[in-house]
């Protein structure tokens, strides 16, 4: 007599295999999409346009404004670019080193939380009418662009 479990088992393995493939593909798209975006943002930090774009955010941050006392706007932006490109490379090393990738992902979480802190801790909020709408506009999208991918780096850590 054929058991119900014997009949269902082959089909469930097929479903498990298909589900696993989709999960693996999703993880790859998430990981390397994050590498692309963080690397791109990091490389943009080497341009004068991006350095000027982050200048008011950094200058009015209670945690980062001190950097401009000994670094120029472009030098700080370049250093930030190096950090961001390094984070992207570390995340991309998952195939060769899970520890390096986890370190890069954890650093990305910290980077995104630091960036999001600009919206909360900026000393101009309330002082300049309409500042938030300007900060989220096309010329200064640093906090807004990262909000959507902050969760991705958290998922990639695991």
The pLDDT score that the predictor gives to residue 34 is: 92
Q: How does residue 59 score in pLDDT terms, banded at 50, 70 and 90?
A: confident
Phi/psi for 9 (5° steps) reads -55, -50
Closest CA to 158 of 65, 113, 96, 91: 91
pLDDT digits (tens, 9 = 90+) for 115-143: 888 777 766 655 554 444 444 444 444 44
Task: Say how far apart CA 108 and CA 149 lie, in whole Å.
Answer: 10
What lies within 8 Å, CB to CB, of 105 at 6+ separation is: 90, 91, 153, 154, 156, 157
Q: How confident is the model at residue 63 (pLDDT cuts 50, 70, 90)?
A: confident
* Domains of the chain by residue range: 14-157
Return the percent helix, strand and coil in the chain, to nearest 5: 80, 0, 20
Residue-level pLDDT at 152: 52
Structure tokens belonging to residue 124: 């101009």
């Amino acid at each position: 007599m054929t058991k119900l479990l014997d009949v269902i088992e082959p089909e469930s393995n097929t479903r498990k295999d298909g589900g696993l493939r989709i999960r693996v593909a999703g993880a790859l798209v998430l990981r390397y999409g994050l590498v692309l975006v963080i690397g791109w943002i990091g490389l943009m930090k080497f341009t004068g346009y991006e350095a000027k774009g982050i200048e008011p955010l950094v200058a009015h941050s209670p945690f980062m404004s001190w950097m401009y006392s000994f670094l120029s706007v472009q030098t700080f932006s370049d250093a930030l670019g190096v950090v961001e490109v390094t984070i992207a490379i570390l995340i991309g090393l998952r195939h060769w080193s899970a520890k390096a990738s986890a370190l890069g992902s954890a650093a990305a979480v910290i980077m995104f939380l630091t960036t999001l802190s600009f919206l909360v801790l900026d000393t101009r909020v309330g002082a300049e009418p309409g500042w938030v709408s300007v900060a989220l506009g096309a010329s200064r999208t640093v906090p807004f662009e990262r909000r959507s991918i902050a969760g991705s780096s958290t998922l990639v850590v695991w």
